[in-house]
Chain A
Amino acid sequence: ETGVTQTPRHLVMGMTNKKSLKCEQHLGHNAMYWYKQSAKKPLELMFVYNFKEQTENNSVPSRFSPECPNSSHLFLHLHTLQPEDSALYLCASSQGASPLHFGNGTRLTVT
């Protein structure tokens, strides 16, 4: 059971493709996050949105473009990715500084 739903669960894309990851939270939280999880590395915070406003961008390359149309939805638009961008992308939400609630992630493979 998860209050945070991510789609798709798996995605394979070529380096010239454009795709989007979607996240939806049903918890009434005001903050949403994108994290990247690569093998043998700690989770890396990518973006934070608080009340739909982007409050943090951790030097993420411009080929990743987030969008937060409302407090319940978060997107990550992908274009011209590199093979090293292959990873598990996790969305999370929180109410202020409360514990993060994570979705099950999108496993992305860039070929």
Chain B
Amino acid sequence: SQELEQSPQSLIVQEGKNLTINCTSSKTLYGLYWYKQKYGEGLIFLMMLQKGGEEKSHEKITAKLDEKKQQSSLHITASQPSHAGIYLCGADIKNSGYSTLTFGKGTMLLVSP
């Protein structure tokens, strides 16, 4: 089994609707990172969470970390076509002092008009 599981694998939502993507680790989390990727391009950093219970928001995207459950969620409010893409969670499970992240497979988000 994978060290980092993301769900759902893909998601189609109507513009204006809310959605949540989940990321669960089988190992202790020393940091959890959310990225967005457009197909065939690099990853764009969204947010980093390090402490249990931490919650961060940027525009209409909110990420939370449940350290005890080794889980994080990414919530998008009032989705827009610009939110479409692949969302990946990356976890620091080694605590090596640099960013040797383990990634999930990603969640592909489509936003229909």
Contacts and interface: CB of A to CB of B under 8 A. Distances in A.
Contact of A48 (B40, B100, B102): B100
A15 B72 CA distance: 41
> Contact residue range for chain B?
20 to 34
Interface stretch (A67-75, A77-85, A91-99): A91-99
Contact of B48 (A92, A99, A104): A99
B28 to A, nearest CB: 15
A45 B100 contact: yes
Contacts of A103: 42
A33 B99 CA distance: 9
Contacts of A92: 43, 99
A43 B90 CA distance: 9
B63 to A, nearest CB: 13
B41 A105 contact: yes
A56 B100 contact: yes
| Residues of A contacting B: mostly | strand
A interface bracket (residues with beta carbon within 8 Å of B) = 20 to 34
Contacts of A104: 41-42
A59 interface: no
Contact of B42 (A55, A56, A97, A102): A102
A40 B86 CA distance: 12
Interface of A: 2, 4, 6, 31, 33, 40-43, 45, 48, 50, 55-56, 88, 90, 92, 94, 96-105, 107
17 contacts: A4-B42, A41-B105, A42-B104, A43-B103, A45-B101, A48-B98, A55-B96, A90-B43, A96-B98, A96-B99, A97-B92, A97-B99, A100-B33, A100-B101, A102-B42, A104-B41, A107-B40
